[in-house]
Amino acid sequence: MVAGGLYNPVVLKRFTAVWESDTQLDIALKHYNNLEKLLKVTLDYKIPVYRKFASVEEQNNWFLASDKPKLDKYLSSKIISNNNKAIKADFGFGEVQHTGRIDVNKLIKSYKTFLDYHNALKEESFNYDALKVKKDYLSYKNSIGKHIVFSEGFGVTKNPFFKNLPLSPTKGELLTIYAPELKIDFVLKGPVFLIPIGNDLYIVGATYELYDLTHNTTQKAKTKLLEGLKSMISCPFEIINQVAGIRPTVKDRRPLVGQHKDYKNMYLLNGLGTRGVMIGPYVAKQLYELIHKDIPLEKDISLSRLN
């Protein structure tokens, strides 16, 4: 509910391609387009990412990266000069193409409404003790099904059926600011991300915290985000909101997907980390094909790699 929703096929810290970025992006964008038609809402907002350069050396590294086969269609080879007085960028920007933002909050709310309409959603805390696992079916209270998929994010840490997963959850905090003088129609990436969401409002994010795994917002994160923001912009702004969430990140930076080793009608879809809007449709499609077509998962995402 608090995710920024940015999809970006490039790791901008190191100028490298995201794992399976071409395939992920192709599947994800088709999926969100289908959801827009189904839910009759706009979810996918196409918007370029401008990477702010801190030095001539970073410009040179960008040029080198833009020639690489997996990056040349994403990284523009032109340096964009800064002509916005509200932005501090003496060395200009590099543009990442084929990027955008999924309105995750709207997606969740709209999909819940759709499921409610079709009487296909129950909103309640799950009681693991009430799940009865049989050879050919499962029962839960008054419901019977062939399969169950646990897709709980950080909540999987309380799931008795999927214990001891190599999950390394990280807390992330975001600010929403109002900056009427900024006037940008691109995502600005420097020490933090600055994502325009309309009406002179911007999301500023995000932090990475390993030890405090509550959903409480903190002054420490706020200070860190403001330091990054003030190094990028010089115009006045007002903080509208601060939110926190827990990312289900994994030690090897790959999702956790697949079948329970003992209960063959029980499955997991988790570990989407910091790039859920890109990875989610990609791994969900593979899990669907495993369950319904018996097509094996690729090794990189499968729980079998942990054995």
Domain extents in the chain: 6-105+170-247, 130-167+252-306
The second-level CATH assignment, the architecture, of 6-105+170-247 is 2-Layer Sandwich (3.30)
Q: Mapping DSSP to helix (H, G, I), strand (E, B) and coil, where does residue 23 land?
A: helix
Residue 85's closest CA among 183, 176, 177? 183
Task: Enter the pTM of the model.
Answer: 0.91
At the top level of CATH, the class of 130-167+252-306 is alpha beta
Beta strands in the chain (DSSP E): 6-7, 10-11, 16-17, 44-46, 49-52, 75-80, 93-96, 100-102, 131-133, 138-140, 143-145, 148-150, 170-178, 187-189, 193-198, 201-205, 238-247, 256-259, 266-270
The pLDDT of residue 257 is: 97
pLDDT band at 306 (very low <50, low <70, confident <90, very high): confident
pLDDT band at 162 (very low <50, low <70, confident <90, very high): very high
> What residues contact residue 303 under an 8 Å CB cut-off, 6+ apart?
256, 257, 258, 259, 261, 268
169-224: pLDDT as tens digits: 999 999 999 999 999 999 999 999 999 999 999 999 999 999 999 999 999 999 99
Identity of the amino acid at 183 = K
Percent of the chain with pLDDT over 90: 91
